[in-house]
Amino acid sequence: MAAWSTSTASSWCLWGLSDGLEDQLYACLANRRWAHAVVSQQPFVNVTRFLAVAVEAMNTLTDQEWLEAMKAHPRIGERGGGAPDSSVREQSHAMQSPPATLEALDAENRRYEDKFGHVFLIAASGRSGDEILAELRRRMSNDPATEFTEAKRELRKITLLRLEKIRFP
């Protein structure tokens, strides 16, 4: 995993990210063009610049690229093969919910996918299953364009949270 190091009191340098950085970034947001665009801007003089480059590259993604990244994301509550470790950690609090809540999340997730054509996305870290379920139900009343905007916003939040973990292994 990568790490940030101070070379002087006022200057930061990134080390240990060159090898495999593109794969680490892809694990944060499943879009190779985005990951390559971020990698191509190295070296990063500080954490702020690294995150700014990542956001700038996100701003260039097309709706189709966002949709593909959404489709690569596991469902809330999904365990096993398709769920990366980061998703399992982010959803750990919600997954401690009672079985009835988890069953409702599963059913509502499927209704959501039928309506909007992609998985329900929410920055789940620290949220209970009931909180996520309430938000899922609220967003079911959105029209497709509004919901796509909300889903992109949530995927940005998830991505930024994951990027911050790259700097702090």
Q: pTM of the prediction?
A: 0.80
Torsion of CA 164, 165, 167, 169, to 10 degrees: 170
Q: Name residue 36's amino acid.
A: H
- Element containing residue 112 per DSSP (H, E): helix 99-116
Domains and CATH numbers, the chain: 3-167 (1.10.3330.10)
Structure token digits, residue 75: 């469902």
- Cα–Cα distance, 9 to 23 (Å, whole number): 30
Q: What is the DSSP letter of 14?
A: E
How far is Cα of residue 96 from the mean position of the Cα atoms in its chain?
Answer: 21
Q: For residue 64, what are its two tokens? A: 């189709």
Query: Can you tell me the distance from the alpha carbon of 109 to that of 37, in angstroms, rounded to the nearest whole number?
Result: 32
Helix (H) or strand (E) segment spanning residue 61: none
Q: List beta partners, residue 5.
A: 13
**What is the chain's pLDDT, residue by residue, as a tens digit (169 residues)?**
444 444 433 334 454 455 688 998 999 999 999 999 999 998 888 888 999 999 999 999 999 999 999 998 888 766 544 445 555 555 554 565 677 888 899 999 999 999 999 999 999 888 888 999 999 999 999 999 999 999 999 999 999 998 988 853 3
104 CA to centre of own chain: 23
